[in-house]
């Protein structure tokens, strides 16, 4: 039962003063040592003097912080010869790539992917494993995770114990702080402590998150989002998800379960969503929604036993070939997507919207008429709308985002360790 608390108190007892009670150390006020490291990592290579200018601190403070980081083996000095070949080589600072290795993995409805990167984010190895569609129990998922991780470790020429952490992305409702999957299309159970179970099985620290968040992290760390303060990533694959970056940080909500664009409601008592509720946006846009429409409108009931990828490819070929019904199926899904995108713009006003995921090769979903419809649904303020970019990249992007999750967790622990 929803509880509503009403209070007429003008000011809580025992709280003198006014203004927000901000803790002494917040996300925006990180220790100088951490700020220095993050700036070095983002730049690739950077001289101390430039670091001091960009952080608006004294050169002595930068020297002290970098001395600690060098002593800890996290960064190193590098020399770059001048273009003219004269004078002393310039000394810069860079992340010590060999300091540690992390792995990233995306668990999906049809295949799992994994990568290994070094401390600087350079790709070392990658791998993929096909799986039977549908949800599986925890034991089967753990076996698949172990097999795939061993595969990429072998490719990298390392053992599992050499990994500092494993980041994992899972579709569904994931509490990253507690490491719990409340619901996922890849698992038969609910409230699964997946991070703890995988860590116990692999003897590696594990951090998990919603898979759409990992695409946003991949764009923030390795893609076009590196220079943006606020942007949204909308993913369309077996489901529909969203990751949102606010002030250069991934936003998850008060209970770490926010940004579920696919489960916003667009129809009362509408189509059944795989989450168990009705009328979700995902139930009109995701691949199982397109397959449902195709089997009904085109009388393709005999194809229900086909893999969904083959059915969707056939539907797309029919639409490209001029089949009006097939075209209308994509057009209808595109109109619902326009509703979702307009809501993102109206709610968050992002600097950029990125459409990503395997289904982006179906260009009918983001055809000009779809984007025009989105523009008509956005509030008319007279301001320009955010640009929309389509990134039809493969599953390795999701796994790279999982490595960003692991690197972020590991460096946070290292830099705040006394």
Residue bearing the bigger pLDDT, 7 or 335: 335
Residue 206 confidence (pLDDT) above 80: yes
**Helix axis angle, 324-348 to 368-377, nearest 10°:** 40
Contacts of 33 (CB under 8 A, 6+ apart): 65, 68, 69, 415
Cα–Cα separations (whole angstroms), residue 224 to 73, 100, 345, 389: 30, 26, 19, 10
| pLDDT of residue 148 exceeding 70 | yes
pLDDT, tens digit (0-9, with 9 covering 90-100), for 52-98: 999 999 999 999 999 999 999 999 999 875 555 565 777 899 999 99
Q: Which CATH class is domain 32-79+90-95?
A: mainly alpha
pLDDT (tens digit per residue) in 274-330: 888 999 999 999 888 998 888 888 888 667 677 778 888 888 888 888 999 998 999
Least confident of 3-12, 77-86, 102-111: 3-12
- Determine which of 18-27, 170-179, 189-198, 342-351 has the lowest per-residue pLDDT on average: 18-27
Over the stretch 239-276, which tens digit does the pLDDT of each residue have?
899 999 999 999 999 888 889 999 999 999 999 998 88
Question: Is the model more confident about 373 or about 166?
Answer: 166
- With CA atoms as reference, report the closest residue to 116 among 179, 42, 204: 204
Burial 70-108 (b: 16+ CB within 10 A, else e): eeeebbbeeeeeeeeeeeeeeebbbbbeebbbbbbbbbb
pTM reported for the whole predicted model: 0.87
Cα-to-chain-centroid distance, residue 372: 27
Measured CA to CA, the distance from residue 366 to residue 341 in angstroms comes to 11
The whole-number pLDDT of residue 7 equals 47
pLDDT band at 16 (very low <50, low <70, confident <90, very high): confident
pLDDT of residue 28: 57
For the chain, percent of residues with pLDDT exceeding 90: 61
In this prediction, residue 24 carries a pLDDT of 66
DSSP-assigned letter for residue 14? T
CATH 1.10.10.10 domain residues, the chain: 32-79+90-95
292 CB contacts (<8 Å, ≥6 apart)? 271
Residue 332: strand, helix, or coil: helix
Nearest one of 153, 133, 140 to 201, comparing CA atoms: 140
Residue span(s) of the chain under CATH 3.30.420.40 come to 99-217+397-415, 224-392
Residue with tokens 């929604």: 289
Task: Evaluate whether the domain defined by 224-392 bears CATH number 1.20.59.10.
Answer: no
Residue by residue, DSSP assigns 321-363 as TT-HHHHHHHHHHHHHHHHHHHHHHHHH--S-EEEESGGGG-G
Task: Give the pLDDT confidence score for residue 369 in this predicted structure.
Answer: 83
**The residue to which tokens 């000011």 are assigned:** 11
Residue 13 has pLDDT above 60, yes or no: no
Q: Where are the beta strands (DSSP E) in 2-67?
A: none
Q: How far apart are CA 404 and CA 219, in angstroms?
A: 10
User: Distance between CA 210 and CA 262 in Å, rounded?
Assistant: 13
pLDDT at 108 over 60: yes
Residue 364 has pLDDT above 90, yes or no: no
Between 398 and 100, residue with greater pLDDT: 100
Distance (Å, whole) CA 412 – CA 238: 33
Q: Please compute the mean of the pLDDT values over residues 121-142 and round it to a whole number.
A: 92
What pLDDT is stored for residue 115 in this prediction? 96
Q: HSE, CB side, 13 Å, CA atoms: give it for residue 30.
A: 17
Give pLDDT, residue 363: 79
More confident residue, 386 or 29: 386
Whether pLDDT at 5 is above 60: no
CA distance linking residue 302 with residue 269, whole number of Å: 28
Q: Tell the residue number behind the tokens 């350079």, with chain if given.
A: 122
Is the pLDDT at 138 greater than 50? The verdict is yes
What totals of helices (H) and strands (E) does the chain contain, helices first? Answer: 12, 14
Do the strands 206-210 and 163-170 form a parallel or antiparallel pair, or are they unpaired?
parallel
Residue keyed to tokens 């200018």: 53
CA distances from 297 to 291, 316, 369 (A): 10, 14, 22
Query: Which 3 state secondary structure label does DSSP give 79?
Result: strand
Is residue 99 scored above 50 in pLDDT? yes
Facing residues of 93 across strands?
A: 46, 77
**What pLDDT is recorded for position 360?**
74
Closest CA to 169 of 218, 203, 124, 222: 218
Q: Tens digits of per-residue pLDDT, 328-342?
A: 999 999 999 999 999
Quote the tokens at residue 315: 């539907």
Domain topology for 99-217+397-415:
Nucleotidyltransferase; domain 5 (3.30.420)
């Amino acid at each position: 039962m929803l509880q509503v608390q009403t209070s007429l108190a003008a000011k809580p007892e025992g709280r003198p003063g006014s203004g927000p009670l901000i803790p002494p150390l917040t996300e925006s006020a990180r220790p100088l040592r951490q700020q220095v490291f993050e700036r070095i990592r983002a730049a690739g290579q950077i001289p101390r003097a430039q670091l001091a200018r960009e952080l608006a601190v004294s050169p002595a403070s930068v020297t002290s912080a970098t001395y600690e980081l060098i002593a800890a083996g996290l960064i190193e000095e590098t020399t770059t010869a001048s273009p003219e070949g004269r004078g002393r080589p310039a000394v810069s600072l860079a992340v010590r790539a060999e300091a540690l290795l992390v792995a990233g993995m995306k668990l999906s409805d049809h295949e799992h992917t994994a990568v290994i990167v070094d401390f600087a984010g350079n790709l070392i190895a990658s791998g993929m494993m096909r799986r039977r569609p549908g949800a599986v129990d925890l034991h089967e998922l753990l076996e698949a995770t172990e097999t795939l991780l061993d595969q990429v470790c072998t490719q990298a020429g390392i053992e599992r114990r050499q990994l500092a952490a494993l980041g994992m992305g899972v579709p569904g409702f994931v509490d990253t702080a507690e490491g719990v999957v409340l619901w996922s299309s890849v698992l038969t159970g609910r409230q699964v402590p997946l991070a703890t179970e995988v860590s116990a099985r692999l003897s590696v620290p594990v951090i998990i998150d919603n898979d759409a968040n990992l695409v946003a992290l991949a764009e923030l760390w390795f893609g076009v989002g590196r220079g943006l303060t606020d942007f949204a990533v909308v993913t369309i694959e077996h489901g529909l998800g969203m990751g949102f970056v606010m002030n250069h940080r991934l936003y998850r909500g008060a209970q770490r379960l926010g940004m579920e664009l696919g489960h916003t409601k667009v129809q009362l008592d509408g189509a059944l969503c795989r989450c168990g509720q009705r009328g979700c946006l995902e139930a009109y846009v995701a691949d199982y929604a397109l397959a449902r429409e195709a089997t009904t409108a085109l009388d393709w009931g005999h194809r229900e036993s086909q893999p969904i990828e083959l059915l969707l490819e056939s539907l797309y070929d029919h639409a490209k070939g001029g089949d009006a019904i097939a075209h209308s199926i994509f057009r209808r899904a595109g109109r619902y997507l326009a509703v979702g995108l307009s809501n993102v713009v109206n709610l968050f006003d992002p600097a950029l919207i990125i459409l990503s995921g395997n289904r982006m090769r179906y260009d009918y979903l983001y055809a000009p008429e779809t984007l025009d419809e989105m523009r008509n649904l956005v509030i008319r303020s007279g301001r320009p709308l955010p640009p929309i970019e389509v990134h039809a990249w493969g599953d390795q992007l999701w796994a790279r985002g999982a490595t960003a999750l692991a690197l972020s967790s590991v460096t946070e622990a290292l830099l705040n360790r006394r």
